[in-house]
Amino acid sequence: MVFLPQEVILKKRNGEKLPKEDIARFIAGFAEGTVSQAQAAAFAMAVYFQDMSMDERVALTLAMRDSGTVLDWSDLDGPVADKHSTGGVGDNVSLMLAPILAAIGIYVPMISGRGLGHTGGTLDKFDSIPGYQTQPDNALFRKAVEEAGCAIIGQTADLAPADKTLYAIRDVTGTVESISLITASILSKKLAAGLGALVLDVKTGSGAFMPTLEASRDLAKSLVDVANGAGLRTGALITDMNQPLASAAGNGLEMRNAVEFLTGKHQDRRLREVTLALSAEIALMTGMAETSASARKKVEDALDSGKATEHFSRMVSELGGPADFVERMDKYLQSAPIVRDVLALGRGTIAEINTRGVGMAVVALGGGRATPTDTIDHRVGFDRLLGFGAEVEPNTPIARIHAADEATAADAEARLRSAYFVGSGAPKFALIADRITATE
């Protein structure tokens, strides 16, 4: 019988549950060009309003995975795992987590993305390293994983290509926020990467795409249940994004922050806790540790012994970056021409931070994209960002700005000051708000 994509759209528009065969044929047709972009847009809008059952979400995720190559790491001598964050400000966890896991014998072929809206992108951070290839061919990707134990790269053209095109359509049709479509988009790429285990860092708060704990929990449960339903062992932590996670926000500055973290020169307390908690989850899921306590000790030792730094340095070198990047970071990371303190205007305690506003200040400096074709300035952003509970007086620095020119510096300073609220007390948010497993 001839497949008619409009019938699939009508069924979903009318609230019917789609058979997995219909979903598979629709996505395959979209990848092959027999389903038009207009039909894909109509399908996305129907899903946005009518949602999908768990079985439909699993079917959509698998169909998008199967639209391209699925990697196979069965020849490696250890477990293969990854982590995904839903995005935040000052969230450079991946830069430390991948080499920490590599140092305890877990291979990490990490497929990452670029910045979206107010959130920073892992690939944009690595683009601040001269020579580092964020889009290597599969042969180099595999070699880097084998030699360094980890490799952080971007989505290649043959990994879940239907997702890449469908996401572009969702971006311009007002359907990005659908949990069903978000779930399939995230997980199709992770499944295509050939993982054995996955931990999700689902953000909540003023700097997250899901600002409420309830919405973050709904997304986390969808991701965990669909991933496990598709055969990928997955768990999630819901972590706080009511303030920047690191004390730096901006691509090159977050890279510097990560190297200082790995070498022990400077470690933001909240960043250390989230990084080690996520790393320990993977150690447990892959069987590299038997208890939470032993998992935590194992990943702490990998970090504090310097082994993780060695794997990070090897990864950078394998993917084309300088072999001495860690040792001579100042030589390779470009500095902005304007560097100065941003001063507080009042007296009191940092009581609230509009973290999205901090992220948008980085975008205004040129450290993010206002349009998809914008070029990133890896030099700009903020470091020495204060967090909740910091006591300030007039002219106390709340951050240090790195800017390309006076005009963008003045604009970003004003944005940052308006994102910080000084009061008489600091709020208390749980850093790790919840832990989601497939059995919940």
Q: What sign results for the dihedral spanned by CA atoms 113, 253, 219, 231?
A: positive
CB 400 within 8 A of CB 383: yes
Q: Is 137 a catalytic residue?
A: no
Selected catalytic residue, list 118, 164, 189, 402: 189
Catalytic residue at 266?
A: no
Please indicate whether residue 53 is annotated as part of the active site.
Answer: no
165 is catalytic: no
Residue 315 backbone dihedrals phi, psi, to 5 degrees: -60, -45
Catalytic residue among 65, 125, 164, 170: 170
Say which of 22, 66, 82, 240 is annotated catalytic: 82
Does residue 26 contact residue 5 with C-beta atoms inside 8 Å? Answer: yes
185 is annotated as an active-site residue: yes
Q: Examine the residue annotation and report whether 190 is marked as an active-site residue of this protein.
A: yes
Coil/strand/helix, residue 402: strand
Among the listed residues 185, 216, 222, 408, the single catalytic one is: 185
Cα(311)–Cα(10) distance, integer angstroms: 51
End-to-end CA distance of the chain: 41
Rounded to the nearest 10 degrees, how much is the dihedral formed by the CA atoms of 258, 156, 331, 268?
A: -10
Identify the active-site residue in 12, 25, 83, 311.
83
**Beta-carbon-side half-sphere exposure of residue 129 (alpha carbons within 13 Å):** 32
One-letter amino acid of 186: I
The answer to whether 438 and 224 have CB atoms below 8 angstroms apart is: yes
Kindly give, in sequence order, each residue whose CB lies less than 8 Å from that of residue 14, ignoring residues fewer than 6 positions away: 50
How do beta strands 348-353 and 391-392 pair? antiparallel
Query: What is residue 236's three-state secondary structure?
Result: strand
Options 190, 217, 311, 379, the catalytic residue: 190
Q: In degrees, to the nearest 5, what angle opens at C-alpha 31 toward C-alphas 30 and 37? A: 40
Q: Are 241 and 206 a contacting pair, CB within 8 Å?
A: yes
Active site residue 12: no
Is the distance from CB of 253 to CB of 128 less than 8 angstroms? Answer: no
- From 61, 67, 119, 122, the catalytic residue: 122
Residues 6+ apart with CB under 8 A from 302: 100, 101, 103, 104, 279, 308
Is there a catalytic annotation at residue 369? Answer: no
Closest by alpha carbon to 93, among 335, 299, 234, 292?
299
Give me the catalytic one of 67, 85, 206, 355.
85
Q: Are 351 and 425 in contact (CB under 8 A)?
A: yes
85 noted as active-site residue:
yes
Q: Which residues are catalytic?
A: 82-85, 122, 170, 185, 189-190
